[in-house]
Chains A and B, each alone.
Chain A
Amino acid sequence: MAEGKPLVVSGLSVDFGGHRANDSVDFRALPGLVTGLIGPNGAGKTTLFNAICGLVRPTTGTIHVGDVDITNIKPNQRARHGLARTFQRLEMFTLLTVRENVAVAAKLRQGNAGDAGVEALLERVGLSDVADARVDEIPTGRARLVELARALATNPAVLLLDEPASGQTDEETDVFGALLRDLAAEGITIVLVEHDVRLVMSVCDRIAVLDLGRLIAEGEAEEIRNNPLVLNAYLGTSGAA
């Protein structure tokens, strides 16, 4: 894998018409760590991912991968700087097989040399047995692994994972968590948006919490667990109550 690079988001705001989906968000994820990004539905997590990878244009703020300011470049150029992601709602290449899905990504970054690593990647994420299957014929939990393998095939420095455990069984989630830890140990910068609290608490080194577009807390798992602002955001009650 490529050497991880820090992802630094500074003062990022995203507006949809009159609605502010992200409001002056400052966020940082470091190489070798899994950084959780959590928050209630509608908090702006996916919008932040979309802004980072260039699918929506921010109103204000900057985004850096390593030393490079990627705020104003196209999504494909951001990928060349080491950014890769998975999607909350699956974005599979449904006209291709599982193997072809991964191979497309591998060849985009590594040309024909990418082919060699495809089988190893499929093996690593546990998809070898369905490599020749139509990608929309496999269960959702495993389809999310295809998106992960596809992202990994681009040799990413920063990996954004949007609810990757959704649709997985508890056993699959455990295996997935271990894989994330391995990837982080290899130096990749990982940002994890996930509703599975057990997974988040078990794999994340740091956690950032968004609510109504704003970053309301950031810290280690235990700090976040007891943060009154976070409790209020999730439960609608004050921490003191």
Chain B
Amino acid sequence: MDQFLSLTIIGLSTAAVYAIGASGLVLTYTTTGIFNFAHGAIGMFGAFLYWQIRFDWGVPTPIALILVLLVFSPLLGIALELVVMRNLQGTAESTRLVITISLLAATIGAANWIWAPGVSRPMNRFFQGEVFELGPTTVSYHEAITIGVAIAVAVGLRFLLFSTRIGVAMRASVDDRPLAEMNGARPDAAAMLAWSIGCSSATLAGILIAPALALSVPVLSLLIVNAYAAAMIGRLRSLPMTFVGAIIVGLVDAYLIGYQPDTAYLNGLRAASPVLILFIALMALPETRLRTGAVVRSREWFPRPSIRGSLIFSTVVFGGAVAISPLLNNADSITAARVFAFALIVLSFVPLIGFAGQVSLCQLSFAGIGAVTMAHLGQGGNPLGLVAAVLVTSAVGALISIPALRVSGIYLALATAAFAVMLDRWVFLLPDFEVFGLFEVKLFGQGSATVDRLELGPVSTDSPTAQLVLLSGAFAVMAFAVVAIRRSAFGERLLAMKTSEAACATLGLDLTATKVAVFSLSAGMAGLGGALYGGLLKAINPTTFDFIQGLPMLLLGVVGGIGAVGGALFGGIALGAIPIIGASVAALQNPMLVAPGLMGIGLGRDPNGAVSQMREGFGGIPTSRPALAVLVGGVGGSYVLALTDVINGWTLIFFAAIILLVAAGIAGPLTGERPSLNRRPTIPDLEWAGLSRPFTEEDREILDRVLAIDHHGELIDG
């Protein structure tokens, strides 16, 4: 009984932290409609800053708390709202998702920049070591303070939202921002306050939980995944239910400490329990209803790729890699091959997110499953291992998608994130096990696994050069396959589904089957990429494929252009190049830590990505003879210089890039490809139509449509 009581106190203390963190998350979501994936990372950053001020600089606790909680965090919230979040009003949910994931990546990068990883940073609890008796058990002052603070936060938020003018404005803003504004509310001020409180709550949670955990960037950043479960039990709306959810998560966690059976198979259960609860909470949500009237005019436009163009693209990619392979030493060949391995995994996002609009945050986890399958079933480089990797990941992808696809948007992203974190914390750490005595499942053997490189009959791919050729070839083939999918009836259905699921369903499309198919296809592609990446690395472990590692892949794929295969190659190149730049130029080592995140924040809003702009910039070259002559002559000449050892492989790549830019300058930009970006006026624009500008026919059409009225104004017998 004493143990039960002690565990209950511990559980309630943990629950209090989750409740504080989750309430900030719910507050920003309900007020601004933005689910902040970076909430945990902001809490982590705040906790590090508190450690810096309180323990490293020795500032007294109250002053340190005031500086971090009441000065830094609110200012950070205001800055985020002004610089990043305010511009996201009216953007697609997937865009908002990518921007906050970018913020997460940038915050983690910034923390690693300021506070170098691997350094011990002890952080004391409040009133360290002091306890009081509560019946048969003892309670630490820190635990009591944590629970008390959570109660104060709950009461404070309730008062703010229901008893203050700004609180009412906050609640009104999310329902109908323009309407709230017309009624005198100030949505921008409400949003700013919500972000300030959100950041402070994240920081408060981080400071309260950090002493119990290591002051670690990834641990604290992912802590919020535990709070997601609490927020989801509150359906991202109800603060009281969020607190109930936090208590469930906290108590389950605590009771698992005391009562979990001692077996290697359940070692990760406690760490995974919040994401299991999150998954269950998501599955308990009612199935997403098909909505009409949600189609908005988008700037997104990926022209239908031609077979000829994609053949040229694949040939140039593969031919370029083959041509340069003799010029690179072993280490450089591995580096270049890694670019294509990353590009293959990023390519798996193209049909899933680019075509079908289904967000997945677990593609790298699928790659991990592919790699581990290859490790065990592709021993000796058996190509059947590669086939097995694709089939197994496709099957797992389909299996996961069936429950996950009941929900959409942010919920689907959270479900896939929960799956990825569950693999990280539990499944990938399991020892070998049998499934009903039918077959044995081998994972990472609680350490690392060895992946043999492919043996294709008499051809070995063991050398780094062969790996470069293999991976570039695999990317070229898969890129062509993705283009073929885009051009097929299936591809057209995916694009149709992305814009209007309701219209698709009423035309006869089986949405569930289509989504499962594309999820499975995409998982299989990621599995293929993972299996080949594993062969490149030779030794793999769970951290190679963890959730956090997968986020830059999504970001840079989106930055490149997630609807086109060129965007995947861009993503692969960026992922491969960023650490090289950091390692080569000391001054850029730390900036490179935040580069993916900043690129995502800066460029993630362009739905067409960088390749679309590059297509415009370089698209004129094939039709300009002088430009073609410069390109062929320049690259050919440089290649000869490289063959004769005058320049090395990397210099050749650098020269080729310069020559490409020069050729593009000679050819001039491609015209007529860029879609029209003129947007229809929004309702707030219309309020001023006739005053600030002439009233147009299009305005009337929009008003008719939005208000559902007849512009003829005729009535029966009228």
Contacts and interface: CB of A to CB of B under 8 A. Distances in A.
A134 B506 contact: no
B711 interface: yes
A240 interface: no
B90 to A, nearest CB: 16
A66 B709 CA distance: 33
Nearest to A57: B289
How big is chain B's contact interface, by range? 35 or more
A103 interface: yes
Contacts of B716: 38, 197, 224-225, 230-231, 234
B710 A195 contact: yes
Interface string B418-447: 000000000000000000000000000000
Contacts of A195: 709-710, 712, 714
A187 interface: no
B493 interface: yes
Interface in A51-84: 53-56, 74-76, 78-80, 83-84
Interface in B6-62: none
Contacts of A101: 496
B710 A196 contact: yes
A94 B506 contact: no
B297 A93 contact: no
A216 interface: no
B95 interface: no
Interface stretch (B230-238, B313-321, B464-472, B700-708): B700-708
Interface string A196-207: 111000000000
B405 to A, nearest CB: 14
A26 B705 CA distance: 28
B176 interface: no
B654 interface: no
Contact of B712 (A54, A136, A198, A235): A198
Interface string A159-192: 0000100110000000000000000000000000
A90 interface: yes
Contacts of A230: 716
A95 B508 contact: no
A100 interface: yes
Contact of A87 (B292, B496, B509, B717): B292
A163 B710 CA distance: 9
A134 B504 CA distance: 18
Most buried by A among B493, B503, B511, B676: B503
Contacts of A167: 701, 704-705
B119 interface: no
B130 interface: no
Interface in B125-145: none
A36 to B, nearest CB: 11
A105 interface: yes
Nearest to A230: B716
Contacts of A104: 489, 492-493, 496, 504, 507
A77 to B, nearest CB: 8
A54 B505 contact: yes
B184 interface: no
B586 interface: no
B290 interface: yes
Contacts of B499: 92-95
A79 B507 contact: yes
B506 A55 contact: yes
Most buried by B among A163, A166, A198, A235: A166
B301 interface: yes
B538 interface: no
Contacts of A97: 304
A140 B701 contact: yes
A80 B714 CA distance: 37
A89 interface: yes
B510 interface: yes
B457 interface: no
A89 B715 contact: no
B712 to A, nearest CB: 6
B715 A96 contact: no
B709 A41 contact: yes
A6 B703 CA distance: 35
A53 B502 CA distance: 10
A90 to B, nearest CB: 7
A94 B295 contact: yes
Given A95-B499, A112-B489, A197-B715, A89 B506 contact: no
A103 B714 CA distance: 36
B717 A226 contact: yes
B655 interface: no
Contacts of B297: 94, 136
A200 B498 CA distance: 34
Given A83-B506, A95-B302, A103-B492, A134 B708 contact: no
A219 to B, nearest CB: 13
A137 interface: yes
A2 interface: no
Given A103-B492, A136-B297, A196 B292 contact: no
B506 A100 contact: no
A53 B503 CA distance: 10
Given A91-B500, A154-B507, A55 B292 contact: yes
A53 B295 CA distance: 19
Contacts of B711: 166
B718 interface: yes
Given A41-B709, A234-B718, A93 B489 contact: no
Contacts of B292: 50, 55, 87-89, 91
A108 interface: yes
Contacts of A79: 505-508
B319 to A, nearest CB: 31
Contacts of A5: none
A137 B496 contact: no
Given A167-B704, A231-B717, A108 B295 contact: no
A91 B503 contact: yes
B300 interface: yes
Contacts of B493: 104, 108
A75 B506 contact: yes
A96 B301 contact: no
A107 interface: yes
B712 A196 contact: yes
A76 B717 contact: no
Given A96-B496, A166-B711, A234-B715, A137 B508 contact: no
Contacts of A112: 489
A72 B708 CA distance: 29
Contact of B489 (A54, A84, A107, A226): A107
B492 A76 contact: no
A198 B714 contact: yes
Contacts of A214: none
A41 B707 CA distance: 9
B492 A96 contact: yes
A140 B705 contact: yes
Contacts of B708: 41, 88, 163
Most buried by A among B290, B292, B502, B715: B292
A5 to B, nearest CB: 16
Interface string A27-45: 0000000000010010000
A20 interface: no
A226 to B, nearest CB: 7
Contacts of B509: 76, 108
Interface in B681-718: 701, 704-705, 708-712, 714-718
Interface in B471-503: 489, 492-493, 495-496, 498-500, 502-503
Given A91-B295, A166-B705, 4 more contacts: A92-B295, A96-B495, A108-B509, A136-B298
14 contacts: A41-B708, A54-B505, A74-B510, A75-B506, A88-B708, A89-B705, A91-B500, A93-B496, A104-B496, A108-B493, A136-B298, A147-B503, A167-B704, A230-B716
What 7 A-B pairs come out closest when comparing CB atoms? A195-B710, A79-B508, A75-B505, A91-B503, A89-B293, A93-B496, A91-B500
